[in-house]
Amino acid sequence: MTETVIDWERETRTGVAEAMLCEGKSAAQIAAILGDCGGRRLFLTRLGPEVRSSLPATIQDALDYDELSRTAVFGPAIAAARAGAGIVCAGTSDLQVAREAARTMAFHGYAAPIIADVGVAGLWRLMRRLDEVRGFSVLIAVAGMEGALFSVLAGLVEAPIIAVPRAVGYGVGADGHAALTTALATCTPGVVTVNIDNGFGAACAAIKILRASQRTPLADDAD
Amino acid sequence: MTETVIDWERETRTGVAEAMLCEGKSAAQIAAILGDCGGRRLFLTRLGPEVRSSLPATIQDALDYDELSRTAVFGPAIAAARAGAGIVCAGTSDLQVAREAARTMAFHGYAAPIIADVGVAGLWRLMRRLDEVRGFSVLIAVAGMEGALFSVLAGLVEAPIIAVPRAVGYGVGADGHAALTTALATCTPGVVTVNIDNGFGAACAAIKILRASQRTPLADDAD
Amino acid sequence: MTETVIDWERETRTGVAEAMLCEGKSAAQIAAILGDCGGRRLFLTRLGPEVRSSLPATIQDALDYDELSRTAVFGPAIAAARAGAGIVCAGTSDLQVAREAARTMAFHGYAAPIIADVGVAGLWRLMRRLDEVRGFSVLIAVAGMEGALFSVLAGLVEAPIIAVPRAVGYGVGADGHAALTTALATCTPGVVTVNIDNGFGAACAAIKILRASQRTPLADDAD
Amino acid sequence: MTETVIDWERETRTGVAEAMLCEGKSAAQIAAILGDCGGRRLFLTRLGPEVRSSLPATIQDALDYDELSRTAVFGPAIAAARAGAGIVCAGTSDLQVAREAARTMAFHGYAAPIIADVGVAGLWRLMRRLDEVRGFSVLIAVAGMEGALFSVLAGLVEAPIIAVPRAVGYGVGADGHAALTTALATCTPGVVTVNIDNGFGAACAAIKILRASQRTPLADDAD
Amino acid sequence: MTETVIDWERETRTGVAEAMLCEGKSAAQIAAILGDCGGRRLFLTRLGPEVRSSLPATIQDALDYDELSRTAVFGPAIAAARAGAGIVCAGTSDLQVAREAARTMAFHGYAAPIIADVGVAGLWRLMRRLDEVRGFSVLIAVAGMEGALFSVLAGLVEAPIIAVPRAVGYGVGADGHAALTTALATCTPGVVTVNIDNGFGAACAAIKILRASQRTPLADDAD
Amino acid sequence: MTETVIDWERETRTGVAEAMLCEGKSAAQIAAILGDCGGRRLFLTRLGPEVRSSLPATIQDALDYDELSRTAVFGPAIAAARAGAGIVCAGTSDLQVAREAARTMAFHGYAAPIIADVGVAGLWRLMRRLDEVRGFSVLIAVAGMEGALFSVLAGLVEAPIIAVPRAVGYGVGADGHAALTTALATCTPGVVTVNIDNGFGAACAAIKILRASQRTPLADDAD
Amino acid sequence: MTETVIDWERETRTGVAEAMLCEGKSAAQIAAILGDCGGRRLFLTRLGPEVRSSLPATIQDALDYDELSRTAVFGPAIAAARAGAGIVCAGTSDLQVAREAARTMAFHGYAAPIIADVGVAGLWRLMRRLDEVRGFSVLIAVAGMEGALFSVLAGLVEAPIIAVPRAVGYGVGADGHAALTTALATCTPGVVTVNIDNGFGAACAAIKILRASQRTPLADDAD
Amino acid sequence: MTETVIDWERETRTGVAEAMLCEGKSAAQIAAILGDCGGRRLFLTRLGPEVRSSLPATIQDALDYDELSRTAVFGPAIAAARAGAGIVCAGTSDLQVAREAARTMAFHGYAAPIIADVGVAGLWRLMRRLDEVRGFSVLIAVAGMEGALFSVLAGLVEAPIIAVPRAVGYGVGADGHAALTTALATCTPGVVTVNIDNGFGAACAAIKILRASQRTPLADDAD
């Protein structure tokens, strides 16, 4: 038994399910919450390997764990049958957050491919994959350091861009604020942002956007 | 003649047209740019009343100007025939930015109604309009001070929330950072944010989202 | 013997007793101070488990230690016979600070129940416990991330709200400043705040408020 | 008619009435809101003299305006019959915020005397009035620059201290953050704080505290 | 006579002449300093039009003043006979700082053309002028808002990039820190930066670089 | 041999000897520098116990090490024969920095007693030692959290106060900025400050002040 | 009559007289305070020319006003008979704060000459006046922008350096924080600092230091 | 195989080769990237000793590793035959970043000598090596704490100064921002800066500058 009250109705109400942020919770608290799930599926974020290995073995077995993204799925997997967001990364160290986003989408049944290492220092890397990138109706862009990718990308595509600034770099870039302010002060309209390193939140917003498209009454004069 | 190079192809490329940010430009610069438009429509943001009244009379006449939002449309209006975002405001002083968003959407042909004064200090104001709010497939939420509306709203609706933090308040809330950090650190997934007071950018993102819904291949198993 | 000078008269002078902040003190310093207490009771905050286990065994035995809140009572317990503040928590990781507040109140003889996990992402969790929450004459609210609970709660109850922002979250929310600025810039009057993670200080203020009610001359025309 | 929705039920629900923050509203908006009041009383804060003199004459006549505090009462005054908070000021330039607090209390029927110019640079000024200060069950302390008064005062009295940091001073003290961090990081427990220059909020919290004392069940063993 | 001591030897010692920063000086102080010049040339920065028009008429006549850049040359002009830096601007409101840089170079005898309005929101604007941009051995890049131009440009050219972040924009971009952190945290090596809006300093650094090339012993195996 | 160049002439030139800041240097670098001293005395600051125990045994033996202050004297001790500054501490965790200051003074031949635990939460602790404190011609005050001691002390004594803000506390007080801004924005003139935790620098300034008194020509009309 | 309580005993208690900070006070408040002086002398700081010219004529006549430093002496002047601090300035725009310091010292009877325009960009300007600078037993150094003068000066002289960072410059230097952090993080021991632009406070500290030298028991073995 | 896309064309396009930032990458990721190099040379920065020792032995053997600077060269060394930048250091703890810069230059074939420990606290240390310093056509200056060296150096030499602020010191200097703001707000024109601790970036900029000198058309009237 636990004092935690999972908001099981959230998926019905908002389109995305409540997830458990494991950072700041003990293994005992996590185990208690999972023990109260009663057969329902739950997504876990920021589950460090050391906390995970302190969980009871039966619970560890019940988790589909991914160490790079520190995420886990409790309960059965479902097919990622719907077309999800495209996830664009500036560099190799952005992959862990990109994967958090991709796994969040998969938990909700969306396939979200990652287009890696297309940072603007070598613009040709983005340009040669532009057709692929333009195929998505929503894009999540993950970038640290100065985050210039957000602005460049938004000027090239029709899809809305959900920026995920990364706490990658050093000096003024170390904590992710340089990339965050780029996403906010961008000269290219059509960029929105979530918190630093919040791949989970970006995926939730992308899911809401994709779901919106199925609820939108078709406009008469849309091009 | 002007050195400014309007990116006329932007609407085709990205779905939203380039606009002119008038803040930081002189009346002479603005007039020169408009003189180069050659019959094309252009949207103007942050056009202060004093700068506007310094423009040549013929240009003033050609502008559909709105003082509250400091926006203007150069060129013919088009019908706002498509269903746009719902724009939710916490308080009266958020209206000017809400209107900037609404006018941006109208310029692109979208109708975007404003639901005013539903701040969380009196929660019943939001609750009694919840059905109306739930009717939109995208929501823009405008709030200053601490911006708690973003989190509460996102927990109640299916639509993605585009937060616009407002530089309204005093002390730690005066510059909009308290509302901005609420949008970023929100406990409710599904909130994305744009820069402080950036109603224009929020509308551009909403338009991209609405357009995405018309390009999205219908998923086979969507609920 | 120690150079530390405990302010034993503080409880008489101000209504709350001096406590020992253990963070930044060595086990030797803590032991020396406790050795000088001469039979008087003392409350200890931020006593980490590793420092505690470095204390002499006789002192460890004399401490009523609570690991979650890292607090200890030195000397005999007293009955929590008076009605204290209600302590409202947004999430599971707020419990450790909530418990610091509850144990501070208990040390002074006040019972302070914790209402856990009523964060605003699922507003129904707060609403279903509203009657209970409205029964307290003072409320301590503990919340991290963006701290929207402070504003929502204050709009629903008569009691003054003492906010305790929590250093819980990541990115712009990691150090507690997002929750702190929410408490300060709140649109709902009647919220006051203490320092980030300062459950002890919130409880001291609540005790002063509760004591004030016993000293207040009854107003003639109070409703 | 106005889009503003005054939360008339707030006083019943929370003990303090909604007030109108005039900063950021035009004279036209303020007049419209007052025109919708229908005989009910309303308190106005941050009403600058220039905006006030732009209001219609009939409305100006209906306002009890105080220029120092930039507050106004719309509707009939009521007697300040109940004992309110004591308001302690560090210096002369703190008077305008102290007055905002006092006028807020008076609007709600509480008398709140101001004890001026007792800053700690000359400690004797506070000491000679200590008996008077100790007579209040709640204290509001207003101080700019470094705000050391908050800590000193809290160590000398039984009443809870509501700190109001002031944006008074220059350099690192100019925007009120030095005084605010003093209130938050104080070494003396029992201090709570509101936003910089928020005399209104401090008074609302004080009223909630005073009302609590009339609702509190008397504890059996109170000293 | 004035207490100011112009460092006339600076040009010989460091390659760039001392200039007078007029901001923070009164018209009287400026006139006194110019009166002491004794026929020597002096460059003036940040000379606002109102201060300039308060100068004695004889001094106004002796100044070659440019209002857009707020710079003036005191004394005879010299031919801009040497090839200077290329100055690349993101937008129209960057022109005033670009001009400060160009006029600083002209004062020292260097011609520095401005390539305007090549911001990355419409990447084609930069691409169509890339050959021209690649012709310079040193580039000064002026950009406000998020400053993504710095990173993109540095990835495309051989020349070193001297970034000049601009205090242009609003919200988190208003004071130039978003563009500054982009220049510092850039993912593209070869960018260096000067202070926000410091077109003068960027030009001085460019002059030093250009002069270095005339002093550098030719390397034996340079490609 | 080392690339480090000790500024041995500094004591003659400025009155205080160069010291070695050990933080950021390896044991090997420290040993090399000490090996180059050639019989001269050197003071070491911020020498952590683990680095110290990595030094060669002969060097460890040659050091008079104090673990609390992390300082060491290399070379012979000299008598602390001159009257130095009084060092006043707010709390127990300020002792380590107070000791750094006292040991710096002792290295230069000055005796500097520590008056501990006189924080303003219990003002009587300072008051009962006021005569003692007033006996010093220079005072160093060490305080963390909000640092209110600086302002109170300066209002009570003739001596100049050198404030040393301490990185002690949590939340907004954790990094010492709250205490630092108190020292800077103090309402009591006569306070000067050094960097956070810089007991060494405070002692150096105190030594310069004490030396100044021996160089000052006696004023004719001094009171 | 006024509520302000001048701390007339401060000079006896601390060696420096209370002064009136006029910023944030109305002309009426200033006049009332001066009217209560009863023949005693008072020093006024930050008295802007427009407030001054709103004072009653009799009071204006009674003031010895200096517009550059915005200071005034109320009451008779006294001879500046004692040797005061040397005041060293980096540039012309530092003169106003240097003069505030010099006038504060003069009010207390100390002569404090200003050594102007010796900034480190042209080091020879400082070097040629080094003998003069070395003649003072206390130095006040006033510098804006990056404040490098503080570190260089302290490495060259025996006197303690009281740094006054100036809010002079633009970009990251505009508000004086760059110069302030230089004073705090200086690599040269013996620098202490006061708040940005606080020439008054620097002079008060210098006076306390100079007075200390007359109270210091002569050490037996001073060099 | 790895998803990382090395930008091998960067050296041709921009004059400096892409390098691998190892911080934030796992040993497995680094090994995979090196395995994809196909005989090409690669420079590695921020390769901590613990990550390095987790690399496969064959890769460790193929690396020329330098622990002080945490850099490695993968592939054959080339002769440092060209004259590179002079690297000037304020203190001993700046050597690790100076070495990162020197090794970056060496990788590209430039010899870059280090002039160590010439901080401004003892100005003679810089002065006695001034002729040597003046011999370079480009200078990299590395300094932590307050970074005053940048301003002093730039006033004495003809070469452009690339400042590298160091995260060395404590309190306000600990994170390198004090040195960074000195580089930006410097009173001496001709200083440009890179990010805190970015020795690699400074070297890349220096290489671009040196290469520019070989591409610059000789000006007709250069002195």
Q: Who among B116, B118, B171 is closest to D197 (CB)?
A: B171
The whole-angstrom separation of Cα H201 and Cα H187 is 23
pLDDT at G78 over 70: yes
Distance (Å) from the alpha carbon of C127 to chain A's nearest alpha carbon: 13
Average pLDDT of the segment spanning E100-106 = 98
Residue G124 lies in a domain: yes
**Chain A residues within 8 A of B192 when measuring between CB atoms:** 162, 192-194, 202, 205
Any CB–CB contact under 8 A between C39 and chain A? no
How many domains is chain A built from? 2
- Backbone dihedral angles phi then psi of residue F175, each to the nearest 5 degrees: -95, 5
The whole-angstrom separation of Cα C199 and Cα D160 is 16
Q: Who among E193, E200, E215 is closest to H192 (CB)?
A: E193
Which residue numbers in chain D have pLDDT < 70? 1-2, 214-223
Give one word for F163, left, alpha or beta, with left for phi > 0 and alpha for psi -120 to 50. Answer: beta
Give the residue among C189, C105, C94 at the shortest CA–CA distance from C147: C94
Same domain, H141 and H203: yes
Q: What percent of chain E has pLDDT over 70?
A: 95
Range of the domain at C101: 82-213
Question: Does chain E touch chain H (at least 3 C-beta pairs within 8 Å)?
Answer: yes
Any CB–CB contact under 8 A between E127 and chain B? no
The pLDDT score that the predictor gives to residue B2 is 61
Give the residue among G38, G116, G27 at the shortest CA–CA distance from G72: G27
The pLDDT score that the predictor gives to residue F223 is 40
Tokens 């900063």, residue located: D23
CATH number at residue C90: 3.40.50.1970
Mutate to test the interface with C, among F170, F175, F177, F197 (most CBs of C within 10 A): F170
The pLDDT score that the predictor gives to residue C77 is 86
Same domain, H40 and H93: no
Average pLDDT of the segment spanning E97-119 = 97
A4 pLDDT band, cuts 50/70/90, is confident
Q: What is the pLDDT of residues G128-182, one digit of tens each?
A: 999 999 999 999 999 999 999 999 999 999 999 999 999 988 999 999 999 999 9
**Chain D residues within 8 A of B125 when measuring between CB atoms:** 5, 7
H215 pLDDT band, cuts 50/70/90, is low
Distance (Å) from the alpha carbon of H170 to chain F's nearest alpha carbon: 7
Mutate to test the interface with H, among A96, A124, A170 (most CBs of H within 10 A): A170
Same domain, G90 and G198: yes
pLDDT at A221 over 60: no
Same domain, G121 and G60: no
Domain end call among H74, H107, H126 = H74
Q: Is B111 helix (H, G, I), strand (E, B) or coil?
A: strand
Q: Who among D121, D168, D170 is closest to G195 (CB)?
A: D170
Residue B82 neighbours by CB distance under 10 Å: 22
Same domain, E47 and E124: no
Same domain, A36 and A145: no
Domain end call among E54, E74, E94 = E74
CB contact under 8 A, C182 and B177: no
E-assigned strands of chain B?
19-21, 42-45, 63-66, 71-74, 82-83, 86-89, 110-111, 114-115, 139-143, 161-165, 191-193
Interior angle at CA A21, CA A17 and CA A25, nearest 5: 140
Residue B5 lies in a domain: no
Residue D218 lies in a domain: no
Same domain, E184 and E168: yes
Same domain, G189 and G109: yes
The pLDDT score that the predictor gives to residue E222 is 38
CB contact under 8 A, H18 and A118: no
Mutate to test the interface with G, among D97, D170, D177 (most CBs of G within 10 A): D170
Any CB–CB contact under 8 A between E161 and chain A? no
User: For G28-35, which contacts have Cβ atoms below 8 Å and span 24 or more sequence positions?
Assistant: G29/D92, G29/G2, G29/G4, G30/G55, G30/G59, G31/G55, G31/G56, G31/G59, G32/G1, G32/G2, G32/G4, G33/D92, G33/G2, G33/G4, G33/G6, G34/G59, G34/G62, G34/G74, G35/G2, G35/G59
pLDDT at E218 over 50: no
Contact yes or no for C144/C93 (Cβ under 8 A): yes
The pLDDT score that the predictor gives to residue F3 is 74
Any CB–CB contact under 8 A between F146 and chain D? yes
Question: Does chain A touch chain G (at least 3 C-beta pairs within 8 Å)?
Answer: no
Question: Does chain H touch chain B (at least 3 C-beta pairs within 8 Å)?
Answer: no
Question: Does chain C touch chain A (at least 3 C-beta pairs within 8 Å)?
Answer: yes
Residue A218 lies in a domain: no
CA torsion A215-A218-A219-A220 (nearest 10°) is -160
E-assigned strands of chain A?
19-21, 42-45, 63-66, 71-74, 82-83, 86-89, 110-111, 114-115, 139-143, 161-165, 191-193
How does DSSP classify residue G172? G
pLDDT at H164 over 50: yes
Q: Who among B92, B125, B168 is closest to D7 (CB)?
A: B125
G217 pLDDT band, cuts 50/70/90, is very low
Residue F182 lies in a domain: yes
B223 pLDDT band, cuts 50/70/90, is very low
The pLDDT score that the predictor gives to residue E4 is 84
Contact yes or no for A158/A195 (Cβ under 8 A): no
Min mean pLDDT across A102-116, A158-172, H208-222 is at H208-222
Same domain, F132 and F94: yes
The tokens for A88 are 């664009």
Q: What is the pTM of this model?
A: 0.95
For chain G, the average pLDDT equals 93
ipTM value, please give it: 0.94
Any CB–CB contact under 8 A between H29 and chain A? yes
Q: What percent of chain A has pLDDT over 90?
A: 88
The pLDDT score that the predictor gives to residue G223 is 40
Same domain, F109 and F168: yes
F2 pLDDT band, cuts 50/70/90, is low
For chain B, the average pLDDT equals 93
The tokens for D123 are 């400690």
Residue H43 neighbours by CB distance under 10 Å: 21
Q: In this complex, how many residue pairs, one in chain D and one in chain G, have their CB atoms less than 8 Å apart?
A: 50
Any CB–CB contact under 8 A between H168 and chain F? yes
The whole-angstrom separation of Cα C189 and Cα B145 is 12
Residue F3 lies in a domain: no
The pLDDT score that the predictor gives to residue A158 is 96
Nearest CA in chain E to G115: E3
pLDDT at E24 over 80: yes
The tokens for D194 are 């509101």
Residue G5 neighbours by CB distance under 10 Å: 20
pLDDT at H15 over 80: yes
For chain A, the average pLDDT equals 93
Same domain, E153 and E56: no
The pLDDT score that the predictor gives to residue E220 is 42
Residue C169 lies in a domain: yes
Give the residue among F156, F221, F222, F220 at the shortest CA–CA distance from F188: F156
The whole-angstrom separation of Cα E119 and Cα A187 is 8
pLDDT at B215 over 70: no
Same domain, B144 and B63: no
Average pLDDT of the segment spanning H160-165 = 98
Residues paired with residue H141 on neighbouring β-strands, in sequence order: H88, H163
Average pLDDT of the segment spanning F41-68 = 97
The pLDDT score that the predictor gives to residue B217 is 47
Integer-rounded Cα Rg, in Å, for chain A is 18
CB contact under 8 A, B23 and E172: no
Any CB–CB contact under 8 A between H122 and chain F? yes
> Which residues neighbour E60 within 8 Å (Cβ) at sequence distance 6 or greater?
E52, E53
CB contact under 8 A, C197 and F171: yes
The tokens for C75 are 């000397």
Distance (Å) from the alpha carbon of A6 to chain B's nearest alpha carbon: 13
Residue F222 lies in a domain: no
Q: What percent of chain C has pLDDT over 70?
A: 95
The whole-angstrom separation of Cα B140 and Cα B154 is 11
Q: Which chains touch C (3 or more CB pairs under 8 A)?
A: A, B, D, F
Give the residue among C154, C82, C70, C146 at the shortest CA–CA distance from C111: C82
The end-to-end CA distance of chain H, in Å, is 55
H217 pLDDT band, cuts 50/70/90, is very low
Tokens 């960018």, residue located: E191
The pLDDT score that the predictor gives to residue G215 is 62
Q: What is the pLDDT of residues F174-221, one digit of tens each?
A: 999 999 999 999 999 999 999 999 999 999 999 999 998 766 544 444
Q: What is the pLDDT of residues C160-169, one digit of tens each?
A: 999 999 998 8
Any CB–CB contact under 8 A between G123 and chain H? yes
The pLDDT score that the predictor gives to residue E5 is 86
The whole-angstrom separation of Cα F178 and Cα F134 is 26
The whole-angstrom separation of Cα E48 and Cα E65 is 10
Task: Give the pLDDT of chain C (223 residues) as one tens digit per residue.
Answer: 467 889 999 999 999 999 999 998 999 999 999 999 988 999 999 999 999 999 999 999 999 999 999 999 999 989 999 999 999 999 989 999 999 999 999 999 999 999 999 999 999 999 999 999 999 999 999 999 999 999 999 999 999 999 999 998 899 999 999 999 999 999 999 999 999 999 999 999 999 999 987 664 444 443 3
Q: Is H65 exposed, middle or buried (0-12, 13-18, 19+ CB in 10 A)?
A: middle
Domain end call among E21, E39, E74 = E74
Any CB–CB contact under 8 A between B190 and chain C? no
Contact yes or no for F133/F86 (Cβ under 8 A): yes
